[in-house]
Amino acid sequence: MPIIKESLKRLWNTEEIRTLVLVSLCLQFGLVFLSPLIKHTRQKLLILVLWFFYLLADYVAILALGNLLRRQSEATCCHHGGVGLMALWAPFLLLHLGGPNTITSYSIKDNELWWRHFLGLAVQVVVAFMVLLQLVAIPRLRVAAFFVFIAGLVKCSERTWALRSSRMDQLRKSYDMQNQEQLPSNTVAPGNIYETDQITEAYEFYKIFKPFVVDHRLNQNHYEQSQTYFQNCGHLKAFKMVEIELSFLDVLHTKADLFNGLRGCIWRFISLGMIASSFVLFLKSEKSGYAKADIIISYILFGSAILMDLISLPLIIISYILFF
């Protein structure tokens, strides 16, 4: 007697790719909303869930891409019975592999393994491109998939570059170039500890004190200036300043330090425009030959991609206004 019934096997073979794509999408939303909370909690369960989501997100997306390629090789028709529409999901899986802006690594050790991440992502880009070849004969879907593919390719590149830039040796080089930074003026009035000016001051202190992350020491001039500043600002403002400074250490595990500001704004607008244009082309394309479930999942993927860019865009604009 077989352990798994044949009916369950057939059901899984039919729904496998759809399930994996939806699970991958859910993991992305989990990372988006859980990763900002991790620094505000000591709950082990929440930390464990984020760690589980972080590890599982890449595996699920890679497995889905592999199954898409296998399904493509088994298909007898390139755009019939829903097979062709599934090929449109490949570039969305690249977006998932690029990860959300709120988390690129779980620990410093992940940053040191950037080369392994790069090789893995390069292989998945090739796999996604091979899957997209299935859409060559469908003009509108082909262009729509190309736009999302470019957005996914750049997002994967962003993640790799963010990992590389957060390595210890890269941080040391960054410190050496910023060694002549000047501290904020110590004549600023204490004022309200929640004022925007204090966030800006804390960001300047963060850039100066970043050497501590890589076991460097402050030079004597910086040490004396910082001592004078904190002696004159009052204890409430001093504690709040340190709290804000520590919050900026998130840049070691996110894309914030590299892709926020004006450059980040420009790319996010371009990325959002590509995905929106792709969505318009998908709306105008003929869908009568595809399974209803595949059409619904495609709409969900487009809507989720646009929503994630809309979530990140205001955060980037705010950071540009505050720090540039």
Residue that is written with structure tokens 């994996």 in the block? 20
Residue at 298: amino acid letter: S
Domain boundary among 249, 272, 302: 249
In this prediction, residue 277 carries a pLDDT of 92
Is there a contact between 236 and 193 (Cβ–Cβ < 8 Å)?
yes
In a domain, 90, yes or no: yes
Do residue 128 and residue 28 come from a single domain? yes
Tokens of 212: 């501590």
Tokens of 233: 């600002």
CA dist., res. 210 & res. 245, Å (int): 10
Do residue 20 and residue 91 come from a single domain? yes
Do residue 156 and residue 301 come from a single domain? yes
Do residue 177 and residue 141 come from a single domain? no
In this prediction, residue 56 carries a pLDDT of 93
Do residue 188 and residue 49 come from a single domain? no
Range of the domain at 211: 171-249
Do residue 239 and residue 96 come from a single domain? no
User: Which residues does 83 contact at the CB level (< 8 Å), separation at least 6?
Assistant: 71, 72, 75, 77, 134
In a domain, 184, yes or no: yes
Do residue 215 and residue 307 come from a single domain? no
Burial readout 13-23 (b: 16 or more C-beta within 10 A, e: otherwise): eeeebbebbbb
Do residue 13 and residue 107 come from a single domain? yes
Q: CB count, 10 Å around CB of 267?
A: 16
User: Which residues does 269 contact at the CB level (< 8 Å), separation at least 6?
Assistant: 313
In a domain, 324, yes or no: no
Q: CB count, 10 Å around CB of 54?
A: 22
User: Which residues does 58 contact at the CB level (< 8 Å), separation at least 6?
Assistant: 97, 120
In a domain, 124, yes or no: yes
**Per-residue confidence in pLDDT tens, the chain, 324 aa:** 455 555 565 556 668 889 999 999 999 998 888 887 776 677 788 888 888 999 899 999 999 998 888 887 766 444 444 457 888 999 999 999 988 877 887 877 787 888 888 888 889 999 999 888 877 677 788 889 999 999 999 888 888 888 887 777 666 666 655 554 444 544 444 444 445 567 777 777 776 666 666 555 666 666 677 777 777 777 777 777 777 777 677 677 777 666 666 666 777 788 888 999 999 999 988 887 788 888 999 999 999 999 888 876 665 555 444 444
Domain boundary among 201, 229, 249: 249
Tokens of 147: 């736009």
Do residue 130 and residue 176 come from a single domain? no
Is there a contact between 90 and 22 (Cβ–Cβ < 8 Å)?
no
Do residue 76 and residue 144 come from a single domain? yes
In a domain, 74, yes or no: yes
Do residue 89 and residue 120 come from a single domain? yes
Number of domains the chain is built from: 2
Do residue 136 and residue 116 come from a single domain? yes
Residue at 243: amino acid letter: E
Domain boundary among 226, 249, 272: 249
In a domain, 259, yes or no: no
